[in-house]
Amino acid sequence: MTDFNETDWAKADFSNEFAENADDFVLERRRLLQIMKSFYGHFLAGKMNRVLDLGCGDGVLTAELLGTDGSIDATLVDGSDEMLKKAKERLKAYGRARFVKTGFQELLKKDPLDENFDFIVSSLAVHHLDRSEKGRLFRYIHDHLSVGGCFMNIDVVLSPTARLEEWYLLLWKEWIAERQETLKTGKGFADITERHRNKDNRPDTLEFQLDSLRSAGFKDVDCFYKYGVFSVFGGRKG
């Protein structure tokens, strides 16, 4: 894995621009967040409320969950000072949040977290890891879940064939093109689907990642939603 500080995401301008336009860049983003909230509400709310947000960005996942359960005890992890600053601002009215600056690379080398969680979530971050690192991260997540706790990942995945990948990226381009007038950027991010293939991104197939979760010990492993290259998947610690 490329060191976080050497990636585009460590650059404030890049990360800010993406965060400000995420609803227009990410296919069906609001639906993806709604699925996460529904999952938490159905399986965990009122019983298990310790949440770990890995690669939290500007804190949108935790903020959405707080809208369904204000009792959540949240820990947010990110390698970007700029994103953690935005997350703290977003959650400033909420007093029960812990913020930890570390990238996945550092997380796997030296674990700064000394507790278990009931719900571990991540969005558009795990695909930066190579196959070996994904497997290590899934085992790390399983180790840090309480019994009955769940993991959900919202991420881009690699298509199983080149023909499908071509169509899925076309769907993505069409989605962004329909939203050009609302984008808060002069660049338009017309090249975002090409960035999907850049050196910082290492997406793997959904099938491989579901198998990796099972190998890590997860139960009830499944894909909860998929649209083109975007997928929601996860599992439960038995």
Evaluate if residue 90 carries a pLDDT over 60. Answer: yes
Task: Specify whether the CB–CB gap between 71 and 95 falls below 8 A.
Answer: no
C-alpha–C-alpha distance, residues 53 and 123, integer Å: 9
Stated pTM of the model: 0.88
How many C-beta atoms surround the C-beta of residue 81 within 10 A?
12
The two tokens of residue 143 are: 């180790």
Phi, psi torsion values for 182, nearest 5 degrees: -95, -5
Q: What is the pLDDT of residues 190-223, one digit of tens each?
A: 566 665 666 778 999 999 999 999 999 999 999 9
Q: What is the pLDDT of residues 118-137, one digit of tens each?
A: 999 999 999 999 999 999 99
Q: CA of 178: how far to CAs of 32, 71, 194, 231, in Å?
A: 19, 38, 18, 21
Q: What is the pLDDT of residues 26-63, one digit of tens each?
A: 778 899 999 999 999 999 998 899 999 999 999 999 99
Instruction: For the chain, give every domain's residue range.
Output: 4-237
Task: Specify whether the CB–CB gap between 56 and 62 falls below 8 A.
Answer: yes
CATH of 4-237, one of 1.10.10.10, 3.40.190.10, 3.40.50.150, 2.40.10.330: 3.40.50.150
